[in-house]
Amino acid sequence: MTLTEKILARAAGKARVEPGDNVWVKADVLMTHDVCGPGTIGVFKREFGNQAKVWDRNKVVVMPDHYIFTADSKSNRNVDILRDFVKEQGITYFYDVIDDPDGHWHFDPSKGMLKRQYGSNYAGVCHTALPQKGHTRPGEILFGTDSHTCMAGAFNQFATGIGNTDAGFVMGTGKLLLKVPETMHFRLEGELQPGVMAKDIILHCIGEIGFDGATYRALQFDGSGVAKLNIDDRMTIANMAIEAGGKNGIFEFDAQTQAFVDYRCKLNGTRTAYEPIERERKEKFVYELAVDISKLEPTVACHPDPGRRKLAKELGNIKLDRAYIGSCTGGKTSDFLEFARVLRGKRVVIDTFGVPATPEIVQDLQTARWGDQTVWEILVEAGVQMTENAGCAACLGGPVDTFGRINTPLKCISATNRNFPGRMGHKESQVFLASPATVAASALTGKITDPREYLPN
Ligand code: SF4
């Protein structure tokens, strides 16, 4: 069995499963957020009754993150709906935007978009915050009401996005009926070269198979090249499994996984016990691709889908209006460090927006010093509009006042993960997906640019 099959077999209490089998699996964690949480709660109450209790109040994790820093009153109200439900149910893990458990969330636009408006419990973008807060464990089953839940496959777990109806059912029962996916195998060998990032690996892989090339399939990433990828890199790759239609993405367990998970679980007082899944010799794959990652070059997914692969050096004729770094995929500390490495001492020539995924990342960037400046200061001096209001922001457009949202038909290069028409706002805008390094180099020139021309010595 493949890694995915082994996890699903264990969660289903079976010795073996085959692709295509329908099995009931037990959930270890159900995550929901402000966009899908209210709908999920509605389904849960409708189907299980107004007085029903969630199956396990320690296994439902509630993380508002999407439409937070907006004056849109309905979006603000969604956070209040989550808070009321958490109180009613006694849910342990709620990363509220405000500190007052009896308060109401209200974003105040008069304070501007850049200065922090959240309280001390807020965690930021769910997929980046789940591991930071100690909710991702090897060998477990994570369901989330968000398609990029697959990001947690970086931690050797089965993690997948589900709709509100399924999530309402999981909330009530702790189980879900799943069809076991076939597995596609991506064997990564070699080592990334300077200026090439994990984002380039996944854009390369999706370019090979197309944006629907992995529909309802597991994507297993292994090989000697993985050992040299850090946890953030693996998260970037697993995150975008869904951009090829994948059910989940998954990595092997190793010492890096263990160190990260153990540290984060202890730090946050979450469950520390887990049982990783190891590969076995007999794995059946429906597709195999070996990638020598040392040969990859900075890669871009062109408008209008994540499978439109080109090399950055081939696209120098595309003039840009905007650059954006942020999201679960591209808004991690390591992403901003690489971004800053390219921008340091230079100045962007197009509007450039920076949105860290979580408050912890804001803090990292405001405390990490290069010489006599923090990384945050370096970015601001380079002309990047950096906001402390960590969240999804313009990654999925959002309400019209969302920071960085594309409100006119602009061309934008972005470190985010999805570029279908209208994804970041205006339906006639064009989004080009790239690594943080490529976004930085392109922000310096105003056209799509290979970052290797701008790397410091
Ligand atoms: S940052 Fe973007 S991709 Fe990630 S959860 Fe938010 S909207 Fe989805």
Using one digit for the tens of pLDDT, what is the confidence trace for 354-399? 999 999 999 999 999 999 999 999 999 999 999 999 999 999 999 9
Residue to probe by mutation, ligand 1, list 148, 202, 431, most atoms within 8 Å of CB: 148
- pLDDT reported for residue 350: 99
Counting from 1 in the atom list of ligand 1, the atom nearest the Cα of 33 is 5
User: At residue 457, does pLDDT exceed 80?
Assistant: no
Burial degree of 177 (CB within 10 A; 0-12, 13-18, 19+): exposed
- CA-closest residue to ligand 1 atom 4: 328
Q: List, as one string, the DSSP characters of 313-330.
A: GG-TT-B-SEEEEEHHHH
- CA-closest residue to ligand 1 atom 6: 392
Mean pLDDT along residues 67-89: 98
Average pLDDT, the chain: 98
In the 3-class helix/strand/coil scheme, how is 11-68 assigned residue by residue? HHCCCCCCCCCEEEEECCEEEECCCCHHHHHHHHHHHHCCCCCCCCCCCEEECCCCCC
* 66 Cα–ligand 1 center, Å: 7
Confidence of residue 352 (pLDDT cuts 50, 70, 90): very high
* 396 Cα–ligand 1 center, Å: 7
What is the percent of the chain where pLDDT is above 90?
A: 100
Asked if residues 300 and 438 have their Cβ atoms less than 8 Å apart, the reply is yes
- Check pocket membership of 68 for ligand 1, CB cut-off 6 A: no
Helix (H) or strand (E) holding 168: helix 164-173
- pLDDT reported for residue 47: 98
Counting from 1 in the atom list of ligand 1, the atom nearest the Cα of 326 is 1
- Check pocket membership of 395 for ligand 1, CB cut-off 6 A: yes
- Check pocket membership of 423 for ligand 1, CB cut-off 6 A: no
- CA-closest residue to ligand 1 atom 2: 395
What is the percent of the chain where pLDDT is above 70?
A: 100
What global pTM score does this model have?
0.99
